[in-house]
Structure 1
Amino acid sequence: MSLRHAGAVLALGLCLTGTPAQADNIVKAPQNDRELAVAAGKAQASLSEFLKTAIPPAPGTGGHAVKVPLRQGGVTEWVWINGLTLKGADTVAGSLGNTPAIVKGFTPGQTIEVKRSEIVDWIYEKNGRMAGGYSVCVLIGRQKGAAGIAELKAAGFACD
């Protein structure tokens, strides 16, 4: 599965509210979701290595993106940004990769800046295989069960 074929996977946003639910490419989850917190911890633990691969993009890699929060009125929607650059030691900037469904006032391609500590996931393609995507594994596992996880693993995702 390349990034060109993973549109539905990468478009998965996460809107944190009080109750789990899903519609289209939006997955609602409680703010204290344990599995997503573990996934974010894995992404944070390996973020420095990812950024070395992403900025500038290492040979044979592409589609580098990070999942970041957009907040509005007590709601947090998680979106992907790509075309990454560093702004100082602890800020990452990139272009918004999808249209937020809940949080308004943002458009695809808009530059978003976030602190490294706010990044909850990262993803890229290397020689036709995927890397990262820890939250993707959690969310697809919830939607499609073992079959979804098997598909992601076959594409190179490290779903545990």
Structure 2
Amino acid sequence: MAAKLSQPMKWVVLAAITGVSVFGIPIIGPTHEVVAQDRSPIVDVRTGDPEMNAAIARARGSLPTFWASYDAPKPSETGHSLKAHFSTRKGGEHIWIAEIKKLPNGSYSGVFANEPRDLPGKRAGDEVKFAEADISDWMFMRNGKIVGGETIKPLLKSMPKADADALRARMEQP
């Protein structure tokens, strides 16, 4: 993890939809209610980070699990969210997207679940469109636990231990 590499990528650790307290800041309610409260931690990860690239590959490889739940969610499954990559002048930013919709042309839309840091003029709650190739992760909640979230796991080591442990406890497969 490094903040001063030529091509850093910004990674929002967790989306507002999970209801998790990150760095002691409670994130509660639907996305549109937390826009002003969004202080989700951002972690710079170099583009070629092997651990993060492996997490992205696992997430992309398991997208059928996400889409199966999205298309026919069980009563205990809520908060379907995708993380998508957006190019920026500083390299790129991966941001959680909530309120996912499949569009007729094969692309997707949703709203930023977190406050973008490197996308001027964009805010949490803004509608955004993206392609399947932009998807870097997925997650949803099942019985109060995070399912998916592969790119969260490598970021846990950069968090304070108590926060990382609390987040691990909220993950279905820590």
Q: TM-score, normalised by structure 1?
A: 0.76
Question: Deviations 1:45-74 (Å, cap 9, x if unpaired)?
Answer: 111220221246442111111111222224
Structure 2: stretches of 5+ with no match in the other structure: 1-16, 28-39
Pairing 1:119–2:123 present:
no
Q: Return the alpha-carbon distance in structure 1 between the equivalents of residues 128 and 72 of structure 2.
A: 18
Question: Deviations 1:57-95 (Å, cap 9, x if unpaired)?
Answer: 442111111111222224211111111111147422111
Counterpart for residue 70 of structure 1: 86
Counterpart for residue 26 of structure 1: 42
Pairing 1:158–2:173 present:
yes
Q: Return the alpha-carbon distance in structure 1 between the equivalents of residues 172 and 58 of structure 2.
A: 13
Contact 1:134-1:158 within 8 A present in 2 as well: no
- Tell me how large the CA RMSD over aligned residues is: 2.6
Query: How far 1:39 sits from its partner (Å)?
Result: 0.6
Q: TM-score, normalised by structure 2?
A: 0.71
Contact 2:77-2:141 within 8 A present in 1 as well: yes
Q: Return the alpha-carbon distance in structure 2 between the equivalents of residues 118 and 63 of structure 1.
A: 20
Question: Deviations 1:9-30 (Å, cap 9, x if unpaired)?
Answer: 9x9xxxxxxxxxxxx7121111
Q: Return the alpha-carbon distance in structure 2 between the equivalents of residues 121 and 6 of structure 1.
A: 20
Runs of 4+ in structure 1 displaced over 4 angstroms?
6-9, 147-150
Structure 1: stretches of 5+ with no match in the other structure: 12-23
Query: How far 1:150 sits from its partner (Å)?
Result: 4.3
Matched pairs, number: 144
Cα–Cα, structure 1 residues 139 and 116, in superposed 2: closer, same or farther, change >3 Å?
Answer: same
- Code of the aligned partner of 1:116: E
